[in-house]
Chain A
């Protein structure tokens, strides 16, 4: 994985010193809160509903064991013993004190981490496929591109005060595990008919209060043109994006209001005015970055492992875990192991410091010290020998990390909601826990099959409810929470925004309502049809009737 060069080290160290000085000046009163707020946000520090919250960047969701141990140390030393994996593959702490944050940033910098671009109207931490470098589906590892974008966007002088935040995701597989169509810019690495590798550029996607699926800006962008083309796109957005209304300031609104054809012309005109050679990086630099992601030295392993087959036969829980949590690897004899952070009774995405250390240890034993975070709020060990999956599973089990529910109904994406967030209108964590309890039976989960429930505690949609097969939006009226249900959303390469079913439900009614939808689906499903497929086949009417009755 990428290692800091001298420039990275200097930038991060200087930022820590700078922020330490800013905090000192804030505490002394030399800086007012109005002056300090944008500075702290540039370092990932929010003031939330009950306390400060620090969001730490995990570029493209890649961590090593040493970094994970440091995150655990920070959780214990400065916070309350846990962290929360976010839908941008970052990790956040809910209870830091302002006076400790410079030390936290120093501790992060010691392991080549920081909190840049986790807040503010800048290009945010670039996300990617958590299976990057491990899946056979990919054209190439998307992380060198993501790293290039990280370096290009970090403290980019033109793009530090954009009209609004800007999110980029990169994937290199047809299967979209990074929700690229719900990003300001989504990049799909692909090959053209001549076999050249380049980018399908998607623009203007996003969730929030105006959910929009992104549209194609460029069917195929040659690799060398990536940075100049993105620079041109950002310039058009920076120039014409609305600054008069923060709710209409994202690029998706600009693209909608301008029209993709005209927007594309503006980008091309801007591109024509640039000198690409001044922006594009050299082949040598691309190679230098790419070399960091060459991957570990995989062993030559047999296609079939008798011990693994035997464990599948004898340990049914292990077989269930493998069925849902393990994905094919590009190298024969290896597998990608998902570690679910959707544990009964726990907030989705929360991981204790003890579990972090365990995952760090297990990554060294089983996965070359590599760990991934996912937008689905889980963890991954990307390079596990198939022959060692059973012993990994047994080790995970002792740490309450062996839930075999990845991709199933209890693998819920959930924002912090009213329990922590200053913007929330309703709780989301307790609802996710109640749904999990209702569907806790693994046999029932298996019968339901692939199902994505996503819960947001307000219209800002951090819980991605618009693209949930079942999406739940928490609202509040006259001091009472209620929940609007959407169905038909899809976060995959077939991205779709869900449709609102009708009036909302009370907190108490919502789990029953979800169960009615699921039970109806089980009743009418055809063959291996998923819930989302059944919805597409039948449309809203029968599901609505199940929820609200006839007529």
Chain B
């Protein structure tokens, strides 16, 4: 039985963390996982959302990802509705790693 609960409104995206590396990922149109939110599948279609849920459960069970959940996405901006989720998409606004390694940039 699925542990996912889709209670959102408007376009939905499915997010999780990679089990091994821990980084944030979003389910893509190809039903793979991407670290880049711009690849994310956004859908309001109930059938598609159900399939997203199935994939999320499967990839949790196969230990690919951890902590899968749906997020609301703003139809206007194409970005997550919640402030916290926008932060997960953008990455930290500050990281000492940026100073130590100027090539490591926050995700846009």
Binding site for B on A (CB under 8 A): 26-29, 33, 47, 49-52, 80-82, 94-99, 345-347, 350, 352, 418-420, 425, 427, 429-430, 433, 476, 479-481
CB distance from B89 to the nearest CB of A (A): 10
| Candidates B22, B61, B84; contact of A29 at CB < 8 Å | B61
Given contacts A26-B63, A94-B95, 9 further A-B contacts (CB under 8 A): A33-B60, A47-B22, A47-B67, A49-B87, A51-B17, A80-B100, A81-B97, A82-B97, A346-B96
**Given the contacts A28-B63, A98-B20, A352-B100, A50 and B91 also touching, CB distance less than 8 Å:** yes
| Candidates B62, B66, B87, B96; contact of A47 at CB < 8 Å | B66
CB distance from A9 to the nearest CB of B (A): 30
Q: B96: which A residues are within 8 A, CB to CB?
A: 80-82, 346-347, 350, 352
Residue pairs across A and B with Cβ atoms less than 8 A apart, 29 shown, are: A26-B19, A27-B19, A27-B20, A33-B60, A47-B67, A49-B88, A50-B88, A50-B91, A51-B23, A51-B24, A52-B22, A80-B97, A80-B104, A81-B97, A82-B96, A96-B22, A97-B20, A97-B22, A345-B99, A347-B94, A347-B96, A352-B96, A419-B92, A429-B93, A430-B93, A479-B81, A479-B82, A479-B83, A481-B83
B80 (CB) vs chain A CBs: closest residue: A479
B104 (CB) vs chain A CBs: closest residue: A80
Q: B84: which A residues are within 8 A, CB to CB?
A: 49, 418, 425, 476
Q: Is B47 an interface residue (CB 8 A)?
A: no
CA distance A430 to B95 in the complex (A): 10
Q: Across the interface, do A51 and B95 meet the contact criterion of CB distance under 8 Å?
A: no
Instruction: Count how many chain B residues have C-beta atoms less than 8 Å from C-beta atoms of the other chain.
Output: 31
CA distance A50 to B20 in the complex (A): 13
Q: Across the interface, do A418 and B21 meet the contact criterion of CB distance under 8 Å?
A: no
Q: Is B101 an interface residue (CB 8 A)?
A: yes
Which has the most chain A C-beta neighbours within 10 Å: B19, B62, B66, B92? B92
Binding site for A on B (CB under 8 A): 17, 19-24, 60-63, 66-67, 81-84, 86-88, 91-97, 99-101, 104
Q: A50: which B residues are within 8 A, CB to CB?
A: 23-24, 88, 91-92
CB distance from A151 to the nearest CB of B (A): 32
**Given the contacts A49-B87, A81-B97, A345-B99, A98 and B92 also touching, CB distance less than 8 Å:** no
A98 (CB) vs chain B CBs: closest residue: B20
CA distance A232 to B92 in the complex (A): 44
Q: Across the interface, do A433 and B94 meet the contact criterion of CB distance under 8 Å?
A: yes
B98 (CB) vs chain A CBs: closest residue: A80
**Given the contacts A26-B63, A47-B17, A81 and B101 also touching, CB distance less than 8 Å:** yes
B86 (CB) vs chain A CBs: closest residue: A479
Q: B61: which A residues are within 8 A, CB to CB?
A: 29
CB distance from B97 to the nearest CB of A (A): 4
CA distance A352 to B96 in the complex (A): 8
Q: A345: which B residues are within 8 A, CB to CB?
A: 99
CB distance from A95 to the nearest CB of B (A): 7
Q: Across the interface, do A419 and B63 meet the contact criterion of CB distance under 8 Å?
A: no
CA distance A442 to B20 in the complex (A): 46
Top 4 A-B pairs ranked by shortest CB distance? A80-B97, A52-B22, A419-B92, A51-B22
Q: B83: which A residues are within 8 A, CB to CB?
A: 418, 476, 479-481
B83 (CB) vs chain A CBs: closest residue: A479
CB distance from B99 to the nearest CB of A (A): 7
CB distance from B57 to the nearest CB of A (A): 12
CA distance A76 to B100 in the complex (A): 11
Q: B97: which A residues are within 8 A, CB to CB?
A: 80-82, 95
B101 (CB) vs chain A CBs: closest residue: A81
Q: A82: which B residues are within 8 A, CB to CB?
A: 96-97, 100
A423 (CB) vs chain B CBs: closest residue: B84
Q: A27: which B residues are within 8 A, CB to CB?
A: 19-20, 63
Q: A418: which B residues are within 8 A, CB to CB?
A: 83-84, 87
Q: Across the interface, do A430 and B94 meet the contact criterion of CB distance under 8 Å?
A: yes
**Given the contacts A29-B62, A47-B66, A80-B104, A99 and B20 also touching, CB distance less than 8 Å:** yes
B65 (CB) vs chain A CBs: closest residue: A33
Q: A81: which B residues are within 8 A, CB to CB?
A: 96-97, 100-101
Q: B24: which A residues are within 8 A, CB to CB?
A: 50-51
Which has the most chain A C-beta neighbours within 10 Å: B61, B81, B82, B100? B100
CA distance A95 to B19 in the complex (A): 13
A347 (CB) vs chain B CBs: closest residue: B96
Q: Across the interface, do A33 and B91 meet the contact criterion of CB distance under 8 Å?
A: no
CA distance A52 to B83 in the complex (A): 20
Q: A95: which B residues are within 8 A, CB to CB?
A: 97
CB distance from B56 to the nearest CB of A (A): 13
| Candidates B22, B93, B104; contact of A427 at CB < 8 Å | B93
Q: A480: which B residues are within 8 A, CB to CB?
A: 83
CA distance A481 to B82 in the complex (A): 12
B21 (CB) vs chain A CBs: closest residue: A97
CB distance from A93 to the nearest CB of B (A): 11
CA distance A27 to B20 in the complex (A): 8
CB distance from B85 to the nearest CB of A (A): 10
Q: A346: which B residues are within 8 A, CB to CB?
A: 96, 99
Q: B99: which A residues are within 8 A, CB to CB?
A: 345-346
CA distance A27 to B21 in the complex (A): 11
Q: B81: which A residues are within 8 A, CB to CB?
A: 479
